[in-house]
Structure 1
C-alpha cells in the first residue's frame, strides 16, 4: 500500500507541476496579448486568404466550382452559428478583391504573410526560439500554407462527395449512420491542421507525437468552445443591442477565443518535451553552462555533425530562462547557428573567442563552490578557479584550446 501511495503522490506531483508550468508559461509569454494581435491580423488576412484560395482553385480544373462548397463547409463546421452575415460580407469582399490590379493582389498576399509572421513569432516565443526562419525557408513555409490549404480542403470535400455516392455508404445510410460518419470529416481536418501547425510552425524540432497530441487536444477544446459559444450567443441579448451588426463583435470574439485555445495548446505541446530539471535551476553559473553547450557544439562540429535539443538537454541542465539567456548570447556572438533540420551547429571558429568574452556577456558571477561541478570539462576548471582567485588574465585562453582533445569531450 505504501508503494501505491508513493506512486499516487508522484503522479499528483507531476500533474501539479505540469499544470503549473502551463499556467506559468501562459502568463510569461503574454499569450492573451498574442491572441489579440493574431485576431487583429486575422481580421485583415481573412479576405486575402479567401482570395488566394479562389485564385488557386480557379487554376485547377479538377476543383472548379468547389469554392462555395469550401465556404459552406468552413462556416458550418468551424464557426459557430449566426455567421451567415459575416460569410456573405466576406464573400462580397473577396469577389471584389479578385478584380484588383497586380499591385492590389501583392498587397493582399503581403497581408496574409503578415498574419503568418505574427503566428510564427508567437510560436517561437513559446518554444523560446530567438532566431526565426529567414529567406527561402520562411518563404517556402508560408507559401506552402497559403497554396496547399485550399486544394487539400477541396480534395477532402471531393472525397466526401465520392464516399456518399458509394453503394456501401448508401447501405449505411439505411441505418442512419452516414451523417454520423461524415461528421468526422471536419474533426479529422481539425486534428490534421492543428498537428501540422504545431509541428511545422516553430523554428525548432517538435516531436511529431507531441504535435499530434496537441492537435487532438486543440480539436477537443475547439469543439467544446464552439458548442459553449453557440449556447451563450443564443441566450444573450447581443442581437438586441447591436442589431444586424451583432455578427461583427461575435465573429471577433470567436476568432480571439480560437487563437487563445491554439496558443494554450501550443504551451501544452511545449511542456510535453520539458523535464522537471528544466524548470529547477541547479545553481551552476551561466558561464559554465554556456561553455558546456559550446563544448557539445564543438565536439559535434569536429565530427561533422549537428546537435539536437535532446542532446543539449541531456548534457546541460538549463531552465527555460537560462536557455533563453545562454542561447541569446551565443547567437549574438555568432557562436550558435541553426540548420534547416532545426538542429544546432557551431556558428564560427572558437580560436578567437575566450572565456573572458563569454563572461562579459553573461549575467551572474562565479561561485568557487559551484565550479567543482565542471569536472566533465577538464581544462575549464583550472582557468575558472584561477580567475576567482587571481583575476581576469586567467580567462584569456581561447575556447578552441580548452575544448580540443579528449579533456573536452562530453562523452
Structure 2
C-alpha cells in the first residue's frame, strides 16, 4: 500500500511539473524574465532612491539604512552584490541634483517595471480583464511605500536579535529559529505577497503558500550556488576587472526572475486544478 501511495504521489508530482512547464513555455516565461531583467537594471536606481527617500522620512528608520544595505549585499547576488550595490547607491545619491522633471521620470521608470511584471503575471494566469489605471497606480504606490517600511520593521527585529546574540543574552529557542530562518522567511513573504496580490483574479491562500514555499527554497538554493561558486565567477576579474561583477549579477538576476515567474506559473496551475476538482464535485 505504501509503495502504491508513493507511486501515486510521484505520478501526480510529475504531471504537475509537466503542466507548469507547459504553461511556462506557452507564455514565454524565459523571455519575460529576460525583459524584466533589463527593466530591473533601468529601474534599480529609481527604486533605491524611492526606498531610501521613504526611510529618511522617519529618524528611527535612518539608522536602519546601513544594516539594510549590508543585509542586501549578503543575500543579493552572492559574489557580485558587494561590487554592484555601492555603484547603485552612488548613482542614487546623484539623483538629489535632478530637477522635478527628472525625479518624475525616475518614478515613472519604477512604475513601468511594476507594470511589466503585472502584465506578465496576468498573461500567465490567462487574465484578460485588466485593472483600471487608478487601481494599478494605487497598488504600485502601496508597494513602493509600504514595502520599504515593512522591510525596515523586519530589519529592526533582525538587528535586535543580532544584538542579543552578540551580547550573549538569553534568547528563546523559537527566536533563534526565527533568526536562522529569517532570510528564507523574507523570500517566502515576498513571493507570497507577489503571488497573492498581483493576479487580477480570486486567489486562494493554500496554493499560493505552496508556490511561495517552493520558490523560497529555489531562491535559497540559487544563492547558495552563487555563494559556493563565487571563486569561479571571480575568475572573470582576470579578464574584465571590476566589470566582471556585472555579468555575474545579470545571470543571478535573470535566474531570480525566472524562479519568480515559475512560482507564478505553479500558482496559476494549482488554482486551475482546484477549479477542475470543484467542477467535478459539483457534477
Asked whether 1:225 is paired with 2:236, we answer no
Name which structure has the greater RCO, CA cutoff 8 Å, separation 6+. Answer: 2
Q: 1:97-138: per-residue Cα shift (whole Å, max 9, x none)?
A: 133221111100100000001100111111100122112211
The structure 2 residue matched to 1:314, chosen from 275, 279, 283, is 279
Q: 1:213-270: per-residue Cα shift (whole Å, max 9, x none)?
A: 2221111100101111233342243222212100111111111010001111111111
User: In 2 relative to 1, CA 247–273 (structure 1 residues): closer, same or farther, beyond 3 Å?
Assistant: same
Asked whether 1:36 is paired with 2:34, we answer yes
Asked whether 1:143 is paired with 2:141, we answer yes
Cα deviation for residue 76 of structure 1 reads 1.0
Task: Report if the CA contact (8 A) 2:80-2:246 is conserved.
Answer: no
User: In 2 relative to 1, CA 37–167 (structure 1 residues): closer, same or farther, beyond 3 Å?
Assistant: closer
For structure 2, the 5+ residue unaligned runs are none
Return the TM-score normalized by structure 1. 0.62
Task: Report if the CA contact (8 A) 1:29-1:126 is conserved.
Answer: yes
Matches within 5 A, 1:16-27: 16-27=14-25
The structure 2 residue matched to 1:203, chosen from 200, 205, 213, is 200
Partner of residue 232, structure 2:
235
Task: Report if the CA contact (8 A) 2:45-2:88 is conserved.
Answer: yes
The CA RMSD over aligned residues, in Å, is: 2.9
Query: For the residues of structure 2 that align with 1:215 and 1:102, how far apart are their CA atoms?
Result: 39
Query: For the residues of structure 2 that align with 1:168 and 1:94, how far apart are their CA atoms?
Result: 32
Matches within 5 A, 1:3-402: 7=5, 10-165=8-163, 170-172=168-170, 182-236=179-233, 237-275=235-273, 314=279
**Partner SS, residue 109 of structure 2:** helix
User: In 2 relative to 1, CA 169–137 (structure 1 residues): closer, same or farther, beyond 3 Å?
Assistant: farther
For structure 1, the 5+ residue unaligned runs are 279-309, 316-409
Task: Report if the CA contact (8 A) 1:164-1:170 is conserved.
Answer: no
Mean CA deviation greater in 259-268 or 224-233: 224-233
Task: Report if the CA contact (8 A) 1:85-1:247 is conserved.
Answer: yes
Cα deviation for residue 34 of structure 1 reads 0.3
User: In 2 relative to 1, CA 185–11 (structure 1 residues): closer, same or farther, beyond 3 Å?
Assistant: closer
Query: For the residues of structure 2 that align with 1:112 and 1:128, how far apart are their CA atoms?
Result: 25
Higher percent of residues as helix: 2
Query: For the residues of structure 2 that align with 1:197 and 1:178, how far apart are their CA atoms?
Result: 26
Task: Report if the CA contact (8 A) 1:172-1:178 is conserved.
Answer: no
User: In 2 relative to 1, CA 270–169 (structure 1 residues): closer, same or farther, beyond 3 Å?
Assistant: farther
Q: Which has the larger radius of gyration?
A: 1
User: In 2 relative to 1, CA 214–276 (structure 1 residues): closer, same or farther, beyond 3 Å?
Assistant: closer
Query: For the residues of structure 1 that align with 2:216 and 2:102, how far apart are their CA atoms?
Result: 35
**Partner SS, residue 169 of structure 2:** helix
User: In 2 relative to 1, CA 8–73 (structure 1 residues): closer, same or farther, beyond 3 Å?
Assistant: closer
Task: Report if the CA contact (8 A) 1:57-1:64 is conserved.
Answer: yes
Return the TM-score normalized by structure 2. 0.89
**Partner SS, residue 229 of structure 2:** helix
User: In 2 relative to 1, CA 170–104 (structure 1 residues): closer, same or farther, beyond 3 Å?
Assistant: same
- Displaced runs of 4 or more, over 6 A: 177-180
Cα deviation for residue 26 of structure 1 reads 1.3
